[in-house]
Chain A
Amino acid sequence: MDERELISRVRAGEPAAERALYDAHVDRVYRLAFRLAGDDELARDFTQETFIRAFDRLETFRGEARLSTWLHAVATTVALNGLRKVKRFRTRETALEAADGVAGSVRSAEPDLKIRLRDAIDALPRKYKAVVVMHDVEGYTHEEIAAALGVEVGTSKAQLSRARAKLRAALADFAGEWVS
């Protein structure tokens, strides 16, 4: 079944077609959601909401881009908006914990590059993080990223470049020779 036929059958309300669409795309959507969220529960929530929205709004898909591009635009919107809300909630929680003097112990510096890199990526501004995760971690092209985030291809490239510069600076004490 080609994509156009699949879409028309989903629009007609065929359960088997809905499941086929889900099966074709769920792995990549869930992987992206998990990479962005770093949390299984959140990744499941974001993935589920992505498909619920996609099924509800498939009527608005005009076929100008590939279905996967449209679906990933929905997924990144859901994940980034969801993370924004979670971040606000966690920021308030952290502030309350600090005020109560029950905050967890301060983590000592980790010598391991992967852990340092994880922390550095987590600390990136949200849009930079999305570009790094999509490009460097999940292998999306700049065209795919631009379509998903609603920006120009040049913006995606520029954001990746700035994000890498921030990562380099964040890891400077780990490997000082990286910084010229």
Chain B
Amino acid sequence: MNDDRFETQIREAARDYHRPPETPREEMWAAIDAERRRRRSAPRIPGLSPAWRWGIGMAAVLVLGIAIGRWIRPGVGGGPATPSASAASRSRVDVAYHLAAAQYLSRTEILLAGFRADARTGDRPDAQFLAQARDLLSSTRLLLDSPASQDPQLKPLLEDLEVVLAQIALLPTSRDTADVEIINQGIDQRSVLTRLRTAIPVGSAPARTQGVL
């Protein structure tokens, strides 16, 4: 069978692919009308889309972690600390930053794993995805300005993540798939995902994606 015959057979068979029934026009209109009335009457908080709520939650975790860290830092807000008190405070500071950074790193890993998976199937990131990338970019800069960036392993990772997230956040300006490829090459060349996964403490991620890709 030649190509033309194949195409013809495919087209004929395809007509029955998920053949739709008659449009349930009145039922759908009733549902649309009811939903629009419900949305109009429901109190709305402007600007709080799911992506925004997610971002605000992330920022809150980071700010809380950083604030706790600064509050309990030795010598801040109190008199001279004894050596044993200083050690205990340092330990609490570490835990606070550790918590904030672990949350951030887990979210970033999920986002980057999703980005690579979508790139493999040729999907472009949607608006919500890009909003999450922008939120994570803000969180990255918060962390870079915090004592967490004094960690010699975390700082270069945060700097690389800042570059990658900024590239992803700027994607809407172009439809060219080459830019997605460039970002993925950057992720590979700098082993960003591997370093990210290594930096995440075991058991801290809500949904690990390692092994998916």
Contact = CB atoms under 8 A, between A and B. Distances in A.
Contacts of A136: 10-11, 14
Contact of A44 (B16, B27, B124): B27
Interface residues of B, number: 32
B161 to A, nearest CB: 25
A40 B21 contact: yes
A140 B73 CA distance: 64
A6 B14 CA distance: 35
Interface string A61-78: 000000000000000010
Interface residues of A, number: 46
A127 interface: yes
Given A152-B175, A178-B6, A31 B14 contact: no
A177 interface: yes
A117 B6 CA distance: 12
A163 B39 CA distance: 40
A117 B27 contact: no
Contact of B18 (A22, A38, A127): A38
A17 interface: no
Contacts of B13: 113-114, 117
A39 to B, nearest CB: 8
Contacts, number: 94
Nearest to B126: A81
B175 A150 contact: yes
Nearest to A30: B23
Contact of B17 (A117, A155, A159, A178): A117
B54 to A, nearest CB: 15
Contacts of A128: 122
Interface-central residue, B1, B24, B28, B35, by most chain A CB under 10 Å: B28
8 contacts: A31-B23, A34-B20, A52-B35, A117-B10, A117-B14, A127-B123, A133-B17, A155-B177
Interface of B: 1, 6-7, 9-11, 13-18, 20-21, 23-25, 27-29, 31-32, 35-36, 39, 121-124, 126, 175, 177
Interface of A: 19, 22-23, 26-27, 30-31, 34-38, 40, 43-44, 47-48, 51-52, 55, 77, 81, 113-114, 117-118, 121, 125-128, 132-133, 136-137, 150-152, 155, 159, 164, 167-168, 175, 177-178
Given A31-B20, A52-B36, 12 more contacts: A22-B29, A26-B25, A27-B23, A31-B23, A44-B28, A51-B28, A81-B126, A113-B9, A127-B122, A133-B17, A133-B18, A159-B122
